[in-house]
Structures are given as structure tokens and as C-alpha cells.
Structure 1
């Protein structure tokens, strides 16, 4: 049984480890935990993980955020992965830094990566894990905040939350979305 684990972000050094690239950071940490390495492939960097008889195809789209749907569709088709076995990891302004949200579907909430996936797949019924980044920015500075690096105060929480997120991804693969949501949506990561 195969799963497609999609970390959303933008390629390029200037985007590395920004709030908007948390999807990349999560899938990289997941791959590192399982000693998998990413290789550049068509429309994405790809790493494959074996987990208790299941295969996780982890991708970081190289299409830039606004065209993420192209990479998701390509890898779903190439690996013959059902939509309910896709999990998209994305940054979320509407959630505090301490929270994550796992959902089986829903709106793009203005997120360009999710918007692209919706347009290409023609559905919003695919699982997504929203990684709260908070919204602690001055009026008119949303783009700077989202594309900015984590503050020194935030980093320990982010590191701890990435670890919790990896456990949620593994649970999604091993026990399904319903059981995982009950646990994941109650997680509160603080120091």
C-alpha cells in the first residue's frame, strides 16, 4: 500500500526554513528519521520510506507553491496512489504556532499551494495537515511574515512540533485519518 506525503514549499535558498516552507522541513525530518534521502526527479525532490509494510513516497514539489498541483497529480498517477492516501503538509496562518489540524478535505483558505492542488485534482477531498504558524505580524506585513524565518523564540516550539507532526503522519499511514484526527487535533505544543 502506497501513500503520497507532500510537503509544500518553494525551492531556492531564499525560501529555505521559512514559515511558508514548513512542509519541506516536515518531510525532510520524516525522511531523516527513516534514513531516506531525497533525489531530484520529475517536478519534485523525492524520498521513499518503508513503514511496516507500507510505502511512503515523500515529495517536495519543485514547481513553486503556486503550481504544486502539477507535481501532486504527476506523482499520484506515476505511483498509482489513491487520493485518500495523499497527505499534504502546509503552513496555516489561522492556527496558532502550538497547533496542527488534520482534515480529510476542505477549502484552500486562500493558500496558493492548496488552490493549485484543488484546480488540478478538481476536488478538495484530499487529506491535509495544517501546521499552525500563527499570525503575529503588523497589518500589511503578511507576506513578509509568511516568507520570513522563524524567530529564535519560535524555533524550539517548531522543532518539537515537527516531531509531533511526524508521529501524526505515521499514524495517518498506519491507523487511518479518523483515528489520527481524534488525537492530532488535540495536540498543543508548548515549551
Structure 2
């Protein structure tokens, strides 16, 4: 089994914010696959199959900083190894329109990733990082991540969201290294 988690904050208020690009990527993937979301424990879940393997898409409804509290119960219930988890999320250190896939790593200051690492007790999960850029000098990080994209960045970010969904789907049947080599790109 594989689990693909998209990080974001629930509610209409946060829908188009920078912090919700992980949700947007999973919505795109679910739409491309014709899947519908169902309520799970602290999450929305969609299910698919590929190559004889069950695939779960999950959007934590716990708010970003507690994402691990929604992902861990699913992983535990289905006995999914941490290496079979992919997390799609926003990254301040990448420019809008940039996409980076990684095999594993630390939290890099991202509270959603920190929560997942703390809940799972491991860092060895796949990451799909969507660039949102840093705030201008003097602006707060919180205001930036909870704000919307500038009109000039919107098209590049939408393209990156589509590519993120494609990359996640490619991982259904291809080794992650191959997917990573194909989809890593800069703005």
C-alpha cells in the first residue's frame, strides 16, 4: 500500500492560500483519477488501486501544525511502512513555480512536516515540495503562508500543482528515484 498526503488547512478561508498547495495537488490528483473524498479519522480520504496495490490519498483536517495526528492512524491501521508515504506540501525556500522531490529529510522549519516526523518517529518518507517563496523583508511568515499568490505567480504555481499531481500518480507504478529525476525542476 501507498499513502499520499497533501498538507493544508481545512475551510473556505484557507482554500487558495500558499499553505494549501498540498491540498490543491491532491484535489487535482483525485479529480484526474475520478476519485471522491470520504470522511476519515481527522481527514478526508480517497482510495485507488494501481498495479495490484491499494493507494490512499489523505488530506488532514487537523490544521497544518497537527498533520501527523491524521496521517499516523491511517498508516498504523493499514500497517503502511513509512517508506510508502509521500507528502505534498508548500516550501518557503523554493521560488513560486519550483518543484522539488526528495527521498527523505528533516522538517526544515515546516510545522506540518515536523508533526508527521514526531507522530511517525521517522523521517524516511517521500516529499514533494511546491515553492511558495519567502515573504518580503519585514513581512511575517504566518501572513505570507496564509496569504494568496501574487497574480504574476499564480500561473506558475498552478502548473506546479498539476506537475505535483502527475508526479504522485507516476509513483503509483514507477520507482521514486525515476519520478524524482523526471519531475525536479526550477521556476
* TMscore range, shorter length: over 0.9
Residue pair 1:31, 1:49 contacting (<8 A) in 2 also: no
What CA distance in whole angstroms lies between the structure 2 residues aligned with 1:171 and 1:34? 12
Structure 1 residue 52, shift from structure 2 partner: 4.1
Aligned-residue Cα RMSD (Å) equals 1.4
CA distances 1:13-70 after superposition (whole Å, capped 9, x unpaired): 2111211011111101100001101111211011112334333211110111111111
Match of 2:53 in 1: 54
Structure 2 unmatched runs, 5+: none
- Normalised by the length of structure 2, the TM-score is 0.93
The 3-state SS of whatever aligns with 2:31 is helix
The 3-state SS of whatever aligns with 1:153 is helix
What CA distance in whole angstroms lies between the structure 2 residues aligned with 1:93 and 1:10? 16
CA distances 1:92-148 after superposition (whole Å, capped 9, x unpaired): 000111211111111101000001111111111111111111125232322111111
What CA distance in whole angstroms lies between the structure 1 residues aligned with 2:55 and 2:149? 28
The 3-state SS of whatever aligns with 1:108 is coil
Match of 1:80 in 2: 79
- Normalised by the length of structure 1, the TM-score is 0.92
Structure 1 unmatched runs, 5+: none
4+ runs deviating over 4 angstroms: none
What CA distance in whole angstroms lies between the structure 2 residues aligned with 1:133 and 1:106? 19
Give the 3 Å change call, closer, same or farther, for CA 28–143 of structure 1 in structure 2.
same
What CA distance in whole angstroms lies between the structure 2 residues aligned with 1:42 and 1:21? 20
